[in-house]
Amino acid sequence: MTDLDTASKTDTPATAAPPEPTPARRWWTLLRPWLPLVALVVFLFVPYLRLEIPGIFDGPLNSPGTLQLLALCLVYGGLAAGYDLLYGRTGMLSFGHALYFAAGVYGTDILITKAGLPLWQAAPFALVGGATLAALIGAIALRTAGIAFAMVTLAFAQVGAILVARDFGGLTGGEEGLPLDVSGLPAFFVGVANTYNLYWLALAYLALVVFVVHRVSSSPTGRVLAGLRDDERRIGVLGLDPYRFKLVAFTLSGTLAAAGGIVYTLLVSGASPHITSSELTLSLLVMVVLGGPGTRWGPVIGGMLYMYLDHRLTAFGTSSAVEALPGFLSAPLSQPLFVLGTVFILAVYFFPGGLASLAGRLGPLLRLIPNRRR
């Protein structure tokens, strides 16, 4: 071996081995798959916690008002996750999703209050009715695509809103809404003292939606839906029928929304026409985009955060702190929609992938901190 060969071997830098993960990162890798179960256990025990968080909630975590607010956040987190199956995972922009939620709300309320059915009979009928309505409208709307599809879904939703507002058949109560007859409910769902049961029902609904959406997304059908979102023509070339798969996603998403409507009816003890407006569908779209479309937990986080802010900002706008500000500040800050819109714009600008991308964006920065300390 010549000196030149020896020098070339010694001078050639060896391939650097990947750095060993830190103990904290190894623990995080082991614990990460179990985080959903940990979060579920924490939420299960919330009704037993007397913890007070000033400025966040008005009372202890197990107070009826706080539990009802948290239950509403859970319901809207499930609604956003179900809508993401349609928008984020299949690429269909529907402006009529509130119609299926309203079908669950009004269907349950009418069957209990007007028809006199007990909850255990009214709920399945309302769920089947919402699923059937979603299948029928989807069968028509999916004959179109793009903006035309969005407009067709909006048109059907507007028809539903008009029927509710005009008290069709004397069933909906018109603009005053329809209070729920609690005599048709089980005793453990009636009264302020049983709010924790409604909270657990809302948590079960959210867990069911997340489970269904995750199972569908990880199945062969979910991969076809992702292919439809990315390139529908390629799915057609493979010999699959895009219409059928989109109809399955549309119907399933509408069914999940109707199930959320049933839980919502029990939470608020009635139905009101505002849930039939297109504003609710736009709010669902904002929730999904805020959390991160097409992600597992982004829509859930976005839905819960949006609903929490929607309720808390109303109290914030009428607080003495806002009223003491100059007029050019107190006027916009007293409007919850203005503050929500500002938060949404800032979130989309700084986190285009939604809140779900926050960990990926901050991860490299956090990993640099130990290196700087060294």
Quick one: pLDDT at residue 364? Answer: 57
Give the helix ranges, DSSP H, for 166-219: 195-217
| pLDDT score for 172 | 92
Q: What is the pLDDT along the chain (374 residues), one digit of tens a residue?
A: 454 455 444 444 545 555 566 665 676 677 777 777 788 888 999 999 888 888 788 889 989 999 999 999 999 999 999 999 999 999 999 999 999 999 999 999 999 999 999 999 999 999 999 999 999 999 999 999 889 999 999 999 999 999 999 998 889 999 899 999 998 899 999 988 899 999 999 999 999 999 999 999 999 999 999 999 988 888 888 889 999 999 999 999 999 999 999 999 999 999 999 999 888 888 999 999 999 998 888 999 999 999 998 888 877 777 777 777 777 777 777 777 788 888 888 887 887 788 887 766 665 555 555 544 44
Distance CA 345, CA 57 (A): 25
DSSP category for residue 63: S
**The predicted structure's pLDDT at residue 272:** 92
DSSP 232-261: HHHHHHTT--HHHHHHHHHHHHHHHHHHHH
Give the residue among 204, 288, 212 at the shortest CA–CA distance from 248. Answer: 212
Q: Which pair of structure tokens corresponds to residue 3?
A: 């000196």
Q: How many CB atoms lie within 10 A of CB 223?
A: 11
Structure tokens at 337: 């929609």
- Rounded to the nearest 10°, the torsion over CA 195, 196, 199, 203 is -160
In this prediction, residue 76 carries a pLDDT of: 96
pLDDT, residue 310, reads 87
> With contact defined as beta carbons under 8 Å apart, do 199 and 47 qualify?
yes
- Could you tell me the pTM of the whole model? 0.87
> Looking at residue 127, what is its pLDDT?
97
Residues in Cβ contact with 314 at an 8 Å cutoff, skipping those fewer than 6 apart: 336
The identity of residue 149, as a single letter, is F
Is the backbone of residue 213 left (phi > 0), alpha (psi -120 to 50) or beta? alpha
Identify the pLDDT of residue 28. Answer: 63
